[in-house]
Amino acid sequence: MDQPGFKKAALFNQLIDNKSVEMEVENMAVMLHRRGEMVYATGVYCPHAEVRLDPRNTAGDLIICKAHGYRSNIKTGECLEEPDMKLNTFPTVVEDGVVWIKF
Ligand code: FES
């Protein structure tokens, strides 16, 4: 990886397709979402009222907050219920079987 600012987050083959997992990368909690050959990274807090999201509570590209049901897109961060709110998203690169994240 020769792009500045990227941190090693996981091995690609440890991630299960269509599943999301929470992990720490350099003391920061993040969520990784594998969708096919792509891996998306988001923050772990709901944009509505900062309740911690559950990585098991996803449907396709959406993660659904158990507090009030707000749905956020894991690829874009867009919150369907409140367009002015956004789930944090972070750039990722998968290279030679390693998932890199920048935040
Ligand atoms: S805190 Fe997540 S929907 Fe309200």
Averaged confidence pLDDT in the chain: 97
Cα 41 to Cα 13: distance, rounded to the nearest angstrom: 16
Token digits of residue 33:
């979402």
Q: Do 94 and 12 touch, CB atoms closer than 8 A?
A: yes
From the CB of 65, is ligand 1 less than 6 Å away?
A: yes
CATH entry, 6-102, from 2.102.10.10, 2.40.50.140, 3.90.1150.10, 3.40.50.720: 2.102.10.10
The whole-angstrom separation of Cα 69 and Cα 8 is 32
pLDDT band at 1 (very low <50, low <70, confident <90, very high): confident
Residue listed under structure tokens 């600012």:
5
pTM assigned to the model? 0.95
Q: Which two tokens stand for residue 6?
A: 């990227």
Per-residue pLDDT tens digits for 37-46: 999 999 999 9
pLDDT tens for 78-92 read: 999 999 999 999 999
Query: Band of the pLDDT at 3, cuts 50, 70, 90?
Result: confident
Query: Which of 9, 52, 48 shows the shortest CA–CA distance to 32?
Result: 9
> Closest ligand 1 atom, CA of 47?
2
